[in-house]
């Protein structure tokens, strides 16, 4: 079946909506948070464990998979789903963000971007055509066009050029894309300039993509400016198409973005923080490196049903973290992903009940809370 | 209930036997291989996953737990079983081996051994009394006396002194031990001198322990000498008591030791090799770092039912290993532990059928085999 998106419910006071994405590999209820399987694996988690938490879609990084183990091998293996044994939908990014953030970008030309691999320093050219064909080899359910990202702050001229390049690449990508089950999302840019955000969105929407990635946000700009940019852009994007906010997943930001009409999220933060010993709880972050947890025999969260909370104490999880034990990283990752999943479920319930504003209010200031 | 051991069956042509160890926390069929939970966790594995493989007893290291997080904390948490959420039997070593191998041993006195912590260089004194009381705090099901280990090679005089020290510490340990459910095993030493092995065993047996650890083997001596020492020692140890060969777990060595009457094994090798990308298979070791596995879409072992073999290809496991992905370490650990469990099951079946000699023959040369 071809890619479809349907809106199910709308919040009364915000632009938040619940919906359902239908793909050949199954349905995904939105809003949704996508765990990040950077190199074809969510760090420490087996695919069936992600299913158990309730996730229906993952994100994986074209940049990393292209460099290691290579798109041809994954194609030979039957695509990324077969390779990593994840039968449900997968969204792949285009590699644009990684090329501009991780790699030593050598130069950006009309045709694409030259960069050096983070793995071995080898030189590569990524073009919009290549980003499409790599993602076709990976056989993800949602692919993304190659976009040109700017840092923050960036001059108006730089951002205008980035918007223009992204639009040109978007057109090339659409021409290159083979018809099939894979949906190709456009990406809108515009840096910290709301008017450029609008222009980027309008011109991208004119190409009529089945969905839109919102890129270049949360790269250092103040949160207020991020929300202003997001608001101006989601006002232009068509209601009937899903919007994916790339790379943002802190609980408060996620709720605020949902209230502005965003449907999909991915972020390494919950899993990266887990490996740094930080657990997310309703009462705030629990940083297990703090000595106060040394002999704390309570679970991370009393009412959480994840294996970390059901089976172990904070003292034990802290002990594992201090010893850099894999089991500790696994358990905290499991917990933080369970937390994100529950947050999304709460959010969907709030939208259905028309109380998204109240939910945002309840979570206000969460980021500065420290439990314990 | 108090610790009991019963022999169930004997091989016709060797000293191999099957048996059952009964403890307050459940029964363990022997021969048994004990996964090593060095710091209160088998690296990367959740306790329920070890149960799923079929393990009924773990080993954990007194040395590591004493230094981090400390025996008092584990005692407060209700003992090691509660702390790590493993309800089945646990064997703890005494810390002797680690003190003499890992630590900078400062000096050995009548009373015990001064050493520096591998974690922070702090100075500690481990005495036989302290080894007993730490293990009582941990509340393991089987504890071990503090032993004095020698390296290989060591002079006869050194080994004689080590045997004498171990015997003196054994007597102190027995006096110190509180009555209860925890069984305290003696440890026999004797380096590479079969006659000292006999003397150590005879004098330790005179103290009538409920079981015996065999220490100081596989520390660099030729395999033939190891087997000679083992043979001379298991001939002296009482038939009716379980024997634990400390720190040996290569498949061939394990089978040979079982044929000499050893019942229990622990070894980090299968799990450490897994983290180094080496999988154990019936056809030999599969070193996934080799380029030949790059696009190998077969499972590690076609007839293995572990999650690594059931769900993933060698190419994917190699990709994970090359990227140092936790999931790869987990899956290979899971496989190698499943392999060890199956080897033990095969061994128990062979003893029951009186064909232990044939089983050893089948595995001859395994260590030099490389699959692929």
Does residue A371 carry a pLDDT above 70? Answer: no
pLDDT at A367: 87
Task: Specify the CATH number of the domain A4-267.
Answer: 3.20.20.105
Q: Is B46–A330 a contact, with Cβ atoms under 8 angstroms apart?
A: yes
Determine the residue of chain B that is closest to A314 in CA distance. Answer: B83
- Which residue is it, tokens 């704390």? A296
Catalytic site residue A93?
yes
Instruction: List the catalytic residue out of A141, A263, A266, A296.
Output: A266
Would the annotation count B295 as a binding residue? Answer: no
Alpha-carbon span B26 to A86, nearest angstrom: 38
Residue of A nearest to B73 (CA): A295
Which residue do the tokens 């030493």 mark? Answer: B189
Binary contact (A330, B329; C-beta < 8 A):
no
- Looking at residue B248, what is its pLDDT? 92
Over residues B157-212, the pLDDT tens digits come to 999 999 999 999 999 999 999 999 999 999 999 999 999 999 999 999 999 999 99
Contact A265, A34 (CB under 8 A): yes
Q: For chain A, what are the domain ranges?
A: 4-267, 281-357
- Does the annotation list B94 as a binding residue? yes
- Is residue B277 a known part of a binding site? no
Q: What are φ and ψ of residue B367, in 5° steps?
A: -60, -25
Instruction: Quote the strand ranges of chain B, DSSP E.
Output: 4-10, 17-23, 26-30, 32-34, 36-37, 58-60, 90-92, 104-108, 113-116, 123-126, 142-144, 183-188, 212-214, 243-245, 264-266, 278-281, 284-287
pTM score of the predicted model? 0.98
Q: How many CA atoms lie within 13 A of B292 on its CB side?
A: 6
Structure tokens at A66: 């292209």
- When pLDDT is averaged across residues A247-263 and rounded to a whole number, the result is 96
Q: Max Cα separation, chain B? A: 61
For the stretch B324-353, pLDDT in tens is 999 999 999 999 999 999 999 999 999 999
Share of chain B above pLDDT 70, in %: 99
Check if A9 is active-site: no
- Using CA atoms, how far apart are residues A353 and B117, in angstroms rounded to an integer? 58
pLDDT band at B371 (very low <50, low <70, confident <90, very high): low
Closest CB to A68 among B39, B46, B323: B323
ipTM attached to this prediction = 0.97
CB contact under 8 A, B44 and A68: no
Query: Which fold does the domain B4-222 belong to in CATH?
Result: TIM Barrel (3.20.20)
Sign of the alpha-carbon dihedral angle for B27, B32, B35, B37: positive
Cβ within 8 Å, pair A328-B41 = yes
């Amino acid at each position: 079946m071809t890619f479809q998106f349907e809106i199910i419910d709308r919040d009364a006071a915000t632009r938040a909506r619940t919906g359902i994405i239908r793909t050949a590999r199954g349905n995904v209820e939105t809003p949704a948070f996508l765990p990040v399987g950077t190199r074809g694996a969510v760090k420490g988690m087996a695919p069936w464990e992600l299913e158990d938490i309730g996730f229906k879609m993952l994100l994986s990084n074209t940049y990393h998979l292209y460099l290691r183990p290579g798109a041809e091998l994954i194609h030979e293996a039957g695509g990324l789903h077969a390779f990593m044994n994840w039968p449900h939908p997968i969204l792949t990014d285009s590699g644009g963000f990684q090329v501009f953030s991780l790699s030593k970008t050598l130069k950006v030309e009309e045709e694409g971007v030259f960069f050096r691999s983070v793995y071995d320093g080898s030189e590569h050219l990524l073009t919009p055509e290549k980003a499409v064909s790599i993602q076709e080899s990976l056989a993800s359910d949602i692919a993304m066009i190659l976009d040109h990202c700017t840092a923050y702050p960036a001059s108006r001229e730089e951002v205008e050029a980035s918007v223009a390049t992204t639009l040109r690449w978007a057109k090339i990508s659409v021409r290159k894309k083979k018809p099939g089950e894979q949906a190709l999302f456009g990406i809108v840019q515009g840096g910290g300039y709301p008017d450029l955000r609008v222009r980027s969105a309008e011109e991208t929407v004119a190409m009529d993509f089945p969905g839109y990635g919102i890129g270049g946000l949360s790269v250092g700009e103040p949160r207020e400016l991020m929300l202003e940019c997001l608001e101006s852009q989601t006002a232009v994007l068509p209601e009937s198409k899903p919007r994916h906010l790339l790379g943002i997943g802190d609980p408060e930001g996620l709720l605020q973005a949902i209230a502005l009409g965003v449907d999909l999220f991915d972020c390494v933060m919950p899993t990266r923080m887990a490996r740094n010993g930080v657990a997310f709880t309703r009462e705030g972050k629990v940083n297990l490196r703090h000595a106060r947890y040394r002999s704390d025999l309570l679970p991370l969260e009393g009412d959480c049903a994840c294996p970390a909370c059901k089976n172990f104490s904070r003292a034990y999880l802290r002990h594992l973290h201090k010893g850099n034990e894999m089991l500790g990283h696994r358990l905290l990752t499991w917990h933080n992903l369970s937390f994100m999943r529950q947050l999304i479920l709460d959010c969907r319930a709030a939208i259905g009940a028309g109380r998204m504003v109240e939910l945002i209010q309840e979570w206000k200031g969460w980021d500065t809370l420290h439990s314990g």
